[in-house]
Chain A
Amino acid sequence: MKSARMIAEHVQSGGSAVAIVQETLAKIDADSSNAFRETFPTEALAAAEEVDRNIARGSPAGVLAGVPVAIKDNICTTEGRTSCGSKMLENYRSPFDATAVTRLREAGAIVVGKVNCDEFAMGSSTETCHFGAVKNPVDSSRVPGGSSGGSAAAVSAGLVPIALGSDTGGSIRQPAAFCGVTGLKPSYGQVSRWGLVAFASSLDQIGPFTRDCEDAALAFGVLRGGDPKDGTCDPAPPRPCELTSTNMKGLRVGIPTQSASDGNADSVTNMMTGLRKQLASANADVVDIDLSLLDQGISTYYVIATAEASSNLARFDGIRYGHRAQAPNASPDELMALSRSEGFGEEVRRRIMLGTYVLSAGYYDAYYNRALKIRRMIRDEYLKAFSSCDVLLSPTTPSPAFPLGGITDPVEMYLCDRYTVGANIAGIPGVSVPYGRDQDNLPLGVQLLAAPFADESLLSAGAALERLRDEANIDGAWNA
């Protein structure tokens, strides 16, 4: 599988989009990672034929002409089902496309299928998916990360060059790191969430998985831009994302002192030690940054995210759509409670309970309101950091991909997101770039963060990091 830009150039200059989609569908059929929930052969081939026809006719070709894309199961598409990895929405068929999906189609991309995720995007391993866990294509005994595990696996296995995911606390960056691919969480407000099934509305953001930062910029340029259907979206019109300098020289790289943690795997510590030296020898300006609240991130996040989730998921009542329990004699209230208990899995129920608890009378101030105050302090700490550095650099995750079934304690699972939740709390952009492998050949990821709406500089810094990595002969993961 080539990069998205190579495929688009090939199709724009007369290569067959149909042939590319046929090859993609065959590869997905042969895949055993369970990344895909379903494919749309008829619709995808028809869309590819149309791209080919338009180009043959001399119509202007889109920047993603003929590029096969996969869509996370919590983002609405008119083809197939939008199930959010849940029994609750097992047979839900969306009557409309998400804006992000519409934008991809308008740019000529071909939606080939839906990819699995943790139930309602709640999880860090894609093991809470009702349709079975997804396996990491690098090592099938390990998780792909989550919640966008199917998206990461689909790109890592070389099935598609672009997959959409959503990131509420790290759900794009963490699986990208685990699978050795690039994952971008744009600034809050850059990409419309219309048609993304809401988890935590003040944190959710849609973004692309790709092989590298240049493809991420290509996809992001298509995805971003105002949408009247999402009031939180910045109204600036869609526009391409141009990478500026891809050189480390003079770039002010902040490294949070808190990212050298005892909780990191040795391979992660070694990666950071090596990287610091490589940055210095490339004449980057490395500065130590004190993010004193980094360790409050997980607690702050789990209060805010579960509170918002308990409210957002109240819409699943078994009445208007989704799973309804068979209970002929139940009252409406009983029917709702039974439908929700049958339709939601364990992790979703756990988070709804936690969210309801922190919002309930007597606990609202101690938990929810306090978390919102600490949120402001965390956001301000990031904004202050960006007055003395251009990007913040840390590991994406404290460890590489763990074995399937390897983490059963919820708090231990939540701590996988230690380095990623901050970007959602503060609404800033973040990208995970593959950076070498551990002794078991598992990919490691480096996370870069930038100031709000500095997504373009973030991806440029990411491309500079890739160059540094490649020049140092460090493995850039991306398998297939």
Chain B
Amino acid sequence: MSEIDEAAVHKVANLARLHLNEAERDTVRADLVRILSHVDSLSSVDVEGIEPLNNPHELSNALRPDAKDKPLPTDDVLNLAPATHDAWIAVPKVLGEGS
């Protein structure tokens, strides 16, 4: 199951929003092959007719009343952002020339 080539590493890094240089991609590929070859033991277990278990106590969604609550103060949240502009979090240009 665990054939994993350079293209697969590239694709997964892209999905995970990770920028890996060539050396890092090689290391990660070797690690994934090593770990997945261990994990492949799972394929020896007969899981016929077994339902997946997402949560140990099979909890269902907990709902709260749809009522007003005290939010965090805006300034406290803005103070955490790496870049701000007035009362906004600043990000690189999303629209405009070249987009």
Q: Are A352 and B89 touching (Cβ within 8 A)?
A: no
Return the 7 tightest CB-CB contacts between A and B, nearest first.
A427-B56, A231-B62, A372-B52, A324-B82, A376-B53, A321-B80, A95-B76
Closest chain B CB from A393 CB (angstroms): 21
Q: Closest B-chain residue to A233, C-beta based?
A: B62
Q: List 12 A-B contacts (CB under 8 A).
A: A96-B72, A202-B56, A232-B62, A293-B45, A296-B42, A303-B42, A310-B16, A332-B94, A337-B17, A354-B36, A367-B1, A372-B54
Q: Closest B-chain residue to A314, C-beta based?
A: B17
How far, in angstroms, from A367 to B39 measured CA to CA in the complex?
8
User: Which residues of chain A in 276-308 are interfacial with respect to chain B, using CB atoms and an 8 Å cutoff?
Assistant: 293, 295-296, 298-300, 302-303
A371 interfacial contact with B, CB 8 Å = yes
How far, in angstroms, from A293 to B76 measured CA to CA in the complex?
48
Which of A228, A299, A341, A377 is in CB contact (< 8 Å) with B50?
A: A377
A356-B12, A370-B42 as given contacts; A375 in contact with B53, CB under 8 Å: yes
A96-B72, A310-B16 as given contacts; A299 in contact with B57, CB under 8 Å: no
Q: Are A319 and B89 touching (Cβ within 8 A)?
A: yes
User: Which residues of chain B in 1-37 are interfacial with respect to chain A, using CB atoms and an 8 Å cutoff?
Assistant: 1, 4, 8-9, 11-13, 15-20, 24, 28, 31-32, 34-36
A379 interfacial contact with B, CB 8 Å = yes
Closest chain B CB from A411 CB (angstroms): 5
Closest chain B CB from A310 CB (angstroms): 6
Q: Are A341 and B19 touching (Cβ within 8 A)?
A: yes
Which of B12, B32, B82, B92 is in CB contact (< 8 Å) with A321?
A: B82
Q: Are B13 and A373 touching (Cβ within 8 A)?
A: no
B87 interfacial contact with A, CB 8 Å = no
Query: Which residues of B sit under 8 angstroms from A303, Cβ to Cβ?
Result: 39, 42
Query: Which residues of B sit under 8 angstroms from A302, Cβ to Cβ?
Result: 35, 39
A5 interfacial contact with B, CB 8 Å = no
The 0/1 profile, CB within 8 Å of B marked 1, for residues 348-386 of chain A is 011011101100100100110111111111010000000
Count of residues in A whose CB is under 8 Å from the partner chain: 70
Q: Closest B-chain residue to A411, C-beta based?
A: B38
Q: Are B80 and A320 touching (Cβ within 8 A)?
A: yes
A321-B82, A353-B16 as given contacts; A377 in contact with B42, CB under 8 Å: no
* 9 extra interface residue pairs, beta carbon distance < 8 Å, beyond A95-B72, A353-B32: A202-B54, A299-B42, A317-B17, A340-B19, A357-B4, A373-B53, A377-B47, A427-B56, A427-B57
How far, in angstroms, from A427 to B59 measured CA to CA in the complex?
12
The 0/1 profile, CB within 8 Å of A marked 1, for residues 51-67 of chain B is 11111110101101000
- The secondary structure that dominates the A interface is helix
Q: Closest A-chain residue to B21, C-beta based?
A: A341
Which of B19, B31, B36 is in CB contact (< 8 Å) with A337?
A: B19
- The secondary structure that dominates the B interface is loop
Q: Closest B-chain residue to A231, C-beta based?
A: B62
Q: Are B82 and A318 touching (Cβ within 8 A)?
A: yes
Q: Are A340 and B17 touching (Cβ within 8 A)?
A: yes
Query: Which of B28, B43, B89 has the most CB atoms of chain A within a 10 A radius of its CB?
Result: B28
Q: Are B92 and A330 touching (Cβ within 8 A)?
A: yes
Residues of A in contact with B (beta carbons under 8 Å apart): 92-93, 95-96, 188-189, 202, 228, 231-232, 293, 295-296, 298-300, 302-303, 310, 314, 317-324, 330-338, 340-341, 344, 349-350, 352-354, 356-357, 360, 363, 366-367, 369-377, 379, 409-411, 414, 425-428, 452
Q: Are B57 and A323 touching (Cβ within 8 A)?
A: no
Residues of B in contact with A (beta carbons under 8 Å apart): 1, 4, 8-9, 11-13, 15-20, 24, 28, 31-32, 34-36, 38-43, 45, 47, 50-57, 59, 61-62, 64, 72-73, 76-77, 79-83, 89, 91-92, 94
How far, in angstroms, from A295 to B11 measured CA to CA in the complex?
31
Q: Are A340 and B12 touching (Cβ within 8 A)?
A: no
Q: Are B42 and A376 touching (Cβ within 8 A)?
A: no
Query: Which of B4, B8, B56, B82 has the most CB atoms of chain A within a 10 A radius of its CB?
Result: B56
Query: Which residues of B sit under 8 angstroms from A332, Cβ to Cβ?
Result: 91-92, 94
Q: Are A320 and B92 touching (Cβ within 8 A)?
A: no
Closest chain A CB from B49 CB (angstroms): 9
Q: Are B18 and A354 touching (Cβ within 8 A)?
A: no
Q: Closest B-chain residue to A203, C-beta based?
A: B56
Q: Are B56 and A95 touching (Cβ within 8 A)?
A: no
Closest chain A CB from B93 CB (angstroms): 8
Q: Closest A-chain residue to B75, C-beta based?
A: A95
Query: Which residues of A sit under 8 angstroms from B17, Cβ to Cβ?
Result: 314, 317, 333, 336-337, 340
Q: Closest B-chain residue to A336, C-beta based?
A: B17
Which of A92, A188, A336, A374 is in CB contact (< 8 Å) with B47?
A: A374
Query: Which residues of A sit under 8 angstroms from B31, Cβ to Cβ?
Result: 350, 353, 410
